[in-house]
């Protein structure tokens, strides 16, 4: 796994989720499948990295008190319009 990969989103950049991110079992006090992040939630990219040719981002959502791993198509830059339907 390569660290410090410069991807589409920079570390420290504010983003908005465009997809529901659910617990895959990594959060011990939440049910598997329980939503952790909802479309429209705002977060901050903490790091980007590559794994098996894909770019992943660790994103902190302070209002929900969670860190989640997301792919670029699951978020947009702040100020960018998106369809949350």
Residue ranges of domains in the chain, CATH in brackets: 14-77 (2.30.30)
How do residues 45-57 score in pLDDT, each as one tens digit?
999 999 998 999 9
Q: How far apart are CA 72 and CA 69, in angstroms?
A: 10
Q: What does the block give as tokens for 85?
A: 């339907």
Q: How far apart are CA 78 and CA 48, in angstroms?
A: 17
- In percent, the amount of the chain with pLDDT more than 90 equals 73
pLDDT of residue 84: 55
pLDDT of residue 71: 94
- Residue 18 contacts by C-beta under 8 Å, 6 or more apart in sequence? 39, 73, 74, 75, 76, 82, 84
């Amino acid at each position: 796994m390569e660290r410090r990969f410069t991807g589409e989103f920079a570390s420290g950049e504010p983003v908005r989720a465009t997809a529901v991110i659910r617990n895959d079992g990594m959060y011990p006090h939440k049910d598997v499948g329980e939503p952790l992040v909802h479309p429209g939630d705002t977060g901050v990219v903490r790091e980007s990295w590559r794994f098996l040719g894909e770019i992943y981002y660790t994103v902190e959502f302070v209002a929900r008190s969670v860190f989640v791993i997301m792919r670029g198509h699951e978020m947009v830059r702040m100020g960018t319009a998106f369809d949350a339907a």
